Structure 1
Amino acid sequence: MTYIIACIDGSPSTPSVCDHAAWASQQLGAPLILLHVLDRTLYPQSNDPTVDIGLDGREQLMEELARLDEERARLAQEQGQLTLEAARQRIIEAGYQEPQLMHRHGSLVETLQELESDMRLLVMGKRGDGSLRPSQVIGSHLENAIRSMRRPVLVTPSVFRIPRSVLLAYDGSATAEKGIDMLCQSPLLRGLPIHVVMIGADTGSHRQQLAAAATRLGDAGYQTEVVVLAGEVEDALLGYQQEHQFDLLAMGAYGHSRIREFFIGSTTTTMLRRCQTALLMLR
Structure 2
Amino acid sequence: MFQPTLTMNTVLACVDAHGHPSAVCDGATWAAQHLHAPLNFLQVIDESEAHTGETRFSDLTGYDPGTTRTQALDAMPGSHIIGGQSHSQQLLEGVRARALHLGHTMVELSLRQGKLTDALLDLSNETRLLVMGLHSHHLDSPWRQDAHHLEQALHAVQQPLLVVTRSHFTPPSAFALAYHGGPESLQLVDAVAKCELLHGLPCHLVHAGARNADIQAEMTQAAQRLADAGVSTHIVIESGDVEQVMARHLTIQQLPLLVMSAFTHTGWRQKLLGTTTSTLLRRTPTSVLVLR
TM over 0.5: yes
Output one character per residue of 1:249-279: Cα deviation in whole Å (capped at 9) or x when no partner: 11123623xxx98xx9924344233322111
Q: Which amino acid aligns with 2:189?
A: I
Task: Please tell me whether the aligned partners of residues 128 and 139 of structure 1 are also in contact (alpha carbons under 8 angstroms).
Answer: no
Instruction: Determine the structure 2 residue equivalent to 1:168.
Output: 177
Task: Measure the CA separation in 2 of the matches of 1:97 and 1:211.
Answer: 42
Instruction: Determine the structure 2 residue equivalent to 1:127.
Output: 135
Instruction: Determine the structure 1 residue equivalent to 2:91.
Output: 83
**How far apart are residue 138 of structure 1 and its match?**
4.0
Instruction: Determine the structure 2 residue equivalent to 1:26.
Output: 33
CA RMSD of aligned residues (A): 3.0
Could you tell me which of 78, 93, 96 is aligned with 1:73? Answer: 78
Instruction: Determine the structure 2 residue equivalent to 1:92.
Output: 100
**How far apart are residue 38 of structure 1 and its match?**
0.7
Instruction: Determine the structure 1 residue equivalent to 2:20.
Output: 13
Task: Measure the CA separation in 1 of the matches of 2:213 and 2:184.
Answer: 21
| Gap change, CA 1:104 and 1:174, over 3 Å in 2 | farther
Could you tell me which of 112, 116, 119 is aligned with 2:120? Answer: 112
**How far apart are residue 189 of structure 1 and its match?**
1.7
Instruction: Determine the structure 1 residue equivalent to 2:46.
Output: 39
Task: Measure the CA separation in 2 of the matches of 1:180 and 1:134.
Answer: 31
Q: Which amino acid aligns with 1:39?
A: D
Q: Which amino acid aligns with 1:90?
A: R
Q: Which amino acid aligns with 1:97?
A: T
Instruction: Determine the structure 2 residue equivalent to 1:268.
Output: 272
Q: Which amino acid aligns with 1:195?
A: H
Q: Which amino acid aligns with 1:268?
A: L
Could you tell me which of 225, 233, 239 is aligned with 1:216? Answer: 225
Output one character per residue of 1:30-77: Cα deviation in whole Å (capped at 9) or x when no partner: 21111110113226xxxxxxxxxxxxxxxxxxxxxxxxxxx9814369
Task: Measure the CA separation in 1 of the matches of 2:184 and 2:125.
Answer: 20
Instruction: Determine the structure 1 residue equivalent to 2:67.
Output: none
Superposed, 1:154-233 pairs within 5 Å as 154-156=162-164, 157-233=166-242
Aligned length: 251
Task: Please tell me whether the aligned partners of residues 250 and 284 of structure 2 are also in contact (alpha carbons under 8 angstroms).
Answer: no
Instruction: Determine the structure 1 residue equivalent to 2:248.
Output: 239
Q: Which amino acid aligns with 2:23?
A: S
Task: Please tell me whether the aligned partners of residues 5 and 119 of structure 1 are also in contact (alpha carbons under 8 angstroms).
Answer: yes
Task: Measure the CA separation in 1 of the matches of 2:160 and 2:39.
Answer: 15
Task: Measure the CA separation in 1 of the matches of 2:123 and 2:101.
Answer: 27
Task: Please tell me whether the aligned partners of residues 154 and 278 of structure 1 are also in contact (alpha carbons under 8 angstroms).
Answer: yes
Superposed, 1:245-260 pairs within 5 Å as 245-253=254-262, 255-256=264-265
Unaligned segments of structure 1, at least 5 residues: 44-70
Structure with greater proportional helix content: 1
Task: Measure the CA separation in 2 of the matches of 1:29 and 1:139.
Answer: 29
Percent identity of equivalent pairs: 35
**How far apart are residue 224 of structure 1 and its match?**
0.6
Point out the structure with max Rg over C-alpha. 1
**How far apart are residue 155 of structure 1 and its match?**
0.9
Task: Please tell me whether the aligned partners of residues 261 and 291 of structure 2 are also in contact (alpha carbons under 8 angstroms).
Answer: yes
Output one character per residue of 1:174-225: Cα deviation in whole Å (capped at 9) or x when no partner: 4323322222112212111211011222122111211121112112221111
